Amino acid sequence: MSLVVEDTHGWLLDACSLIDQAYVRCFRLHGDLKSEFVARFKRQYFHILKSHAGGGNNNNKVSHYNVHAENQDVLQRQERPSKKRKRKHSELNQGEIDSRVFHEKVRSVILEGTKSLVESATLLGFLHGGTDAVKDPLPNPECNLANLCDMAKELPLVDAEDEERCVQFLDDSGDTSHLDLFSCVTENPAEQAVMMMMMGEEYVIPPRAAFLLSDFSRMQPLLRYGRKFDAIVVDPPWENKSVKRSRRYTCLPSSQLKKLPVPCLASPDSLVVTWVTNRPSHLRFVRDELYPHWGVEAVAQWFWVKVTADGRFVFPLDSPHKKPYEVLILGRYRGESRSSPSEGRAGVPPVQDQRLIVSIPSVLHSHKPPLAEVLKPYMKADGECLELFARSLQAGWTSWGNEVLRFQRSSYFTLTPPPASRSSPTIATQL
């Protein structure tokens, strides 16, 4: 039950189950040895039980909140006594004023929609809370993929005319020593997931998934891949003070996003979805500069609302520091056409505005819920999908980024034997 509830307000997702759908059949490949197992993303990453009740207006039922892991630094700063002079409540800068205005516009949409979806999910027995029983140690969150991408810049580029070398396939030998993960798109063509040793670690690759591990300077293989995509999801590393302090990843100036080759990758009327922080300047940039530069017409604004295991916001809805929601701006690629073809042609309905995606968030920083199921109604059947700045893979999708395999390490998964009826160690012929 991955899509737990859908109503006029949006969807309530079981994000962990959505991930697991791709790994019900997984094979570890090592030479002639092939073993089958079921891989499940560790539930402890979605074990959000408590809510941070500091600040904000707590007079709502869906408003007794707490913390997502990426907000831990905020809580630590709140717990430490500040030596700085406290600023008067009235001393707001223009960005804070704009944020407050934006929040007041969307507040009722967030509150009413979340209440409806949470109540329905609770009746179905989904948001029933839980216990603090999960005590298994978490894997080391450090990721060296971005550093490896920097080192790979010293390698010679693949000849632009050598089209065949821009893509490579995982096979049933389990040998990955010949793979060039930085200069070629790598595909798993099989109908099941595979686990392989790459760069000294084991990674789980979902079925029919393709990926390119690179940064801006090495996107050419993706362009030579020869595919046009019907949905493109962009999750930029937006600049913000919290990330700069924590040094979790390298931020990217907004102006650099215009260099993304979205027009070269998008099919006509492709759905373009961009994750945006709640900073009004970023929202304006996407709508007024980035999308027009790409030839994309903004058509809708959605919200990802983060709740605890018992359905409470992870942060106070009116908190002046962190909000329990993030924004997605959806658009249609129109190219250089001056006209705006009406949505809904070719059997695809128009994208509805002000929809919510409600889920228990992962404690892993920047680990977004999969969007494949909620985007499916707004694109043609069997459309090609691409994620830019990806940190994980999705079955049937192409993904690019300098940390594209970050959450595919086997240490993030629990491995169990397959059902007895499929315990044979044979592997499908597609591999």
3-class DSSP assignment, residue 338 = coil
Nearest CA to 220 among 141, 262, 166, 169? 166
In a domain, 403, yes or no: yes
Q: Distance of CA 11 to CAs 19, 110, 397, Å? A: 16, 12, 21
Question: What is the distance between the alpha carbons of residues 274 and 287, in angstroms, rounded to a whole number?
Answer: 10
229: domain CATH number is: 3.40.50
**Predicted local distance difference test score (pLDDT) of residue 297:** 97
CA 305 – CA 368 distance, rounded (Å): 11
In a domain, 121, yes or no: no
Residue 207 within any structural domain of the chain = yes
Residues of the chain below pLDDT 70: 1, 30-32, 52-90, 130-139, 156-164, 240-251, 337-346, 421-431
Q: Is residue 150 part of a domain?
A: yes
Q: Please report the pLDDT score of residue 388 as a whole number.
A: 97
- Supply the range of the domain harboring residue 184: 145-303+322-356+364-409
Into how many domains does the chain fold?
1
pLDDT digits (tens, 9 = 90+) for 380-390: 888 999 999 99
What is the model's pLDDT at position 55? 42
Inside any domain, residue 47:
no
**423 is a domain residue:** no
DSSP string, 175-200: --TT--TTTSEEE--SSSEEEEEETT
Does a structural domain hold residue 97?
no
pLDDT of residue 53: 57
Q: Decide if 309 is inside a domain.
A: no
